[in-house]
Structure 1
Amino acid sequence: MSENVLVDNSNCAAIFDFDGTLLYSLHVWDDIDEKSFAKRGIKVPDDFADSTATMTPREVADYVIARFGFTDSPEDLMQEWNDMANEAYSNQLLLRKGAKIYVDYLHKTGAKLVLMTTLSKSLCEASLKRTELWQYFDLMIFGEDLQSDGKNSPQTYLDLSNRIGVKPEYCTVFEDSAIALKSARLAGMKTCGVADLDNSDLNPEFNNCCTVFCDFDFAPKVLCKKLSENQN
């Protein structure tokens, strides 16, 4: 970008998912699901990941108990999954390429930054602090903070818009979930899909995004304002 161009992202908001979007957590939950189901002699169905993509941990626990007849309590299931995931989130998983530089850039250009994830705070906190992203966000919403419809509902995004004082048309949502992308789009927000571009099975909803990328080197520099020439 030219040194003679000033980018001003003030009055705009960037709403980031964490798991699979900022954090490269490919296959972690697939592995956890396989191990958890295998303990109970059940094969993970092909539709499981898509069916639970926008659910909170409690909703996933309730779902598997109802659908597959697990005899565990929701609390025991969530603890089992949390224990399996804790090592990866605390010490192993890395940010997507360019993620920290991009978040820092948006912060410096005046954007309001929001993290909204279905993951629990206990899992996110260690990763956010280890990767030094924690400091950038004006608001963080974790799985236990989301209402029952969560990212499945455009109203969740409209409520968030009202909460942060930024109109929907000035909000940009970064997500790897097609369901969440659709909800944000129906709320009137700009959407950016984060995906592995060699994935031929991308949901058609990604076609409605303003852009789709696999690393943040290709994320938009301007969220909702035009570039203006620097007069200095």
Structure 2
Amino acid sequence: MSKNMLENIRAVIFDLDGTLVDSMWMWESIDIEFLTARGLEMPENLKYEIEGISFAQTADYFIKRFNLKDTPQELMKIWNGMAYEKYCKEVPLKPGAKQFLDLLKEKEIRVGIGTSNSYELTRACLKAHDILEDIDYILTSDEVPNGKPAPDIYLMVAEHFNVAPEHCMVFEDIPNGMRAAISAGMKVCGVEDEFSTEQNPLKKELSDYYITSYEEILNGTYEDLT
């Protein structure tokens, strides 16, 4: 393990989907299933249009974009139900993630989650993978004034830990999340995800470090882009 990445880092904050767990494929599948059931087509660039925004904002977006009669609360309840079983049974942790969490605990580095997902699904996912106890604090975009790429969510996690932004490192898989971390004044480690491989060059531009799996942190083979 190279010490450079975590040098002077007192808190690590993870995004959830596509970063800590391999779940982005699932959300695209849910979007397709949801829209098809209502006789609607999946827009080609939908994933970019909702990238980083909160669960509630996504519901508002769907209502306006597809002229739905549902309330945001009704949509979120439907999506939670569709996703719950998948999170618990089909969504795997990223390789090496559990071992990296163990390392952070060993180094007494605080661990937070800053996600655009719902609180209920986040807890269910972490519990299903037996890592809920490894996370010190969970914050969702629905609990902050502005979703990613605004820095609000990451700044609030740092404030909760009483750790200055320059001593925080954020792990993210999408550019808007990385921009949020940069705006917060934090270090960024980009995480490769199959769902966003076409954005890899941009992700590397926005990252201080880059990994294809957490195993690269454990064996010191991650990319140092500083």
Question: In which range does the TM-score fall when normalised by the shorter chain?
Answer: 0.7 to 0.9
Measure, in 2, the Cα distance between the counterparts of 1:221 and 1:160.
Answer: 28
Measure, in 1, the Cα distance between the counterparts of 2:120 and 2:6.
Answer: 34
Measure, in 2, the Cα distance between the counterparts of 1:137 and 1:76.
Answer: 29
Measure, in 1, the Cα distance between the counterparts of 2:67 and 2:201.
Answer: 29
Matched residue count: 218
SS at 2:189 equivalent: strand
Q: Output one character per residue of 1:194-217: Cα deviation in whole Å (capped at 9) or x when no partner.
A: 123792343624312012222101
Measure, in 2, the Cα distance between the counterparts of 1:54 and 1:63.
Answer: 13
Report what 1:158 is aligned to: 155
Q: How far off is 1:76 after superposition?
A: 1.8
Q: RMSD across aligned C-alpha pairs, in angstroms?
A: 2.5
User: Could you tell me which of 69, 72, 78 is aligned with 1:71?
Assistant: 69
Q: How far off is 1:53 after superposition?
A: 2.0
Q: How far off is 1:130 after superposition?
A: 2.1
SS at 1:23 equivalent: coil
Q: Output one character per residue of 1:10-69: Cα deviation in whole Å (capped at 9) or x when no partner.
A: 761100111111111141011100111112222121221112121222111111111221
SS at 1:180 equivalent: helix
Quick check: 98-107 or 155-164, which moved more? 155-164
Measure, in 2, the Cα distance between the counterparts of 1:90 and 1:192.
Answer: 26
Runs of 4+ in 1 over 6 A off after TM superposition: 7-10
Measure, in 1, the Cα distance between the counterparts of 2:131 and 2:121.
Answer: 14
Give the 3 Å change call, closer, same or farther, for CA 205–92 of structure 1 in structure 2: closer
Give the 3 Å change call, closer, same or farther, for CA 77–203 of structure 1 in structure 2: farther
SS at 1:150 equivalent: coil
* 1:183 corresponds to 2:183: no
Cα contact 2:111–2:137 (8 A) shared by 1? yes
Quick one: higher RCO (CA 8 Å, sep 6+), 1 or 2?
Answer: 1
> Percent identity over the alignment?
31
Counterparts of 1:190-229 in structure 2 under 5 Å? 190-196=187-193, 199-202=197-200, 204-219=202-217
Measure, in 1, the Cα distance between the counterparts of 2:6 and 2:63.
Answer: 49
User: Could you tell me which of 95, 111, 114 is aligned with 1:113?
Assistant: 111
Quick check: 18-27 or 193-202, which moved more? 193-202
Segments of structure 1 that go 5 or more residues without pairing to the other structure are 223-232
Give the 3 Å change call, closer, same or farther, for CA 220–98 of structure 1 in structure 2: closer
Report what 2:171 is aligned to: 174
Report what 1:133 is aligned to: 131
Q: Output one character per residue of 1:168-211: Cα deviation in whole Å (capped at 9) or x when no partner.
A: 11110001121010111122110011123792343624312012
Letter in 2 for 1:94: P
Letter in 2 for 1:16: F
Q: Output one character per residue of 1:119-162: Cα deviation in whole Å (capped at 9) or x when no partner.
A: 11221222211212111122111344x22312221244334323
Report what 1:55 is aligned to: 53
Cα contact 1:173–1:192 (8 A) shared by 2? yes
Cα contact 2:20–2:93 (8 A) shared by 1? yes
Letter in 1 for 2:158: S
Letter in 1 for 2:63: I
What is the TM-score when the length of structure 2 is the normalising length?
0.86
Segments of structure 2 that go 5 or more residues without pairing to the other structure are 221-226
SS at 2:111 equivalent: strand
Letter in 2 for 1:168: P
Cα contact 1:10–1:112 (8 A) shared by 2? no
SS at 2:74 equivalent: helix
